[in-house]
Amino acid sequence: MAAARLRSPVGRAIGLGSAKEGVEHWWLQRVTAVALVPLTLWFVISVVRLSSADIDTVRDWVGRPLPAILLVLLLIAAFWHASLGLQVVIEDYVHTDLAKLGLLIVIRLACFALAVAGVIAVLGIAFGTS
């Protein structure tokens, strides 16, 4: 096992590998996935019930405490999960450095911006400020 000998004892103990993040990416992808199982099922049932609802009905629903909380959790988990997943897809399939770097930055910022926009919209309705 030449590879094992080349690795320093400190590197092995810290266990973060060459990317210096260990299993964090993999782990967060799973944690957000577990959160999204009940959240997406709840969301699907909710939007089916809201199909062809007018704005007042939707705002009444969004503004209630439980839907507001679950929507915010859904937005955070979904965009976190999407950001991690899209990052892997780009790393696997985009092979020119500039395009890869650009896409990684755009995807990360877009996911963060969309999550913030969604959360602000939900909170605005819930707190009666929009």
CB of 21 to another protein, least distance (A): 18
66 binds another protein (CB under 8 A): no
Contact 63, 126 (CB under 8 A): yes
Residue placing its CB nearer to another protein in the complex, 14 or 41: 41
CB of 48 to another protein, least distance (A): 5
30 binds another protein (CB under 8 A): yes
103 binds another protein (CB under 8 A): no
101 binds another protein (CB under 8 A): no
Alpha-carbon distance of 109 to 124, in angstroms, equals: 22
Query: Between 65-93 and 55-63, two packed helices, what is the crossing angle to 10 degrees?
Result: 90
Q: Which stretch binds another protein (CB under 8 A): 5-13, 14-22, 97-105, 119-127?
A: 119-127
105 binds another protein (CB under 8 A): no
25 binds another protein (CB under 8 A): no
Name the nearest CA neighbour of 29 among 93, 89, 117, 69. 89
Alpha-carbon distance of 64 to 126, in angstroms, equals: 7
Alpha-carbon distance of 21 to 15, in angstroms, equals: 9
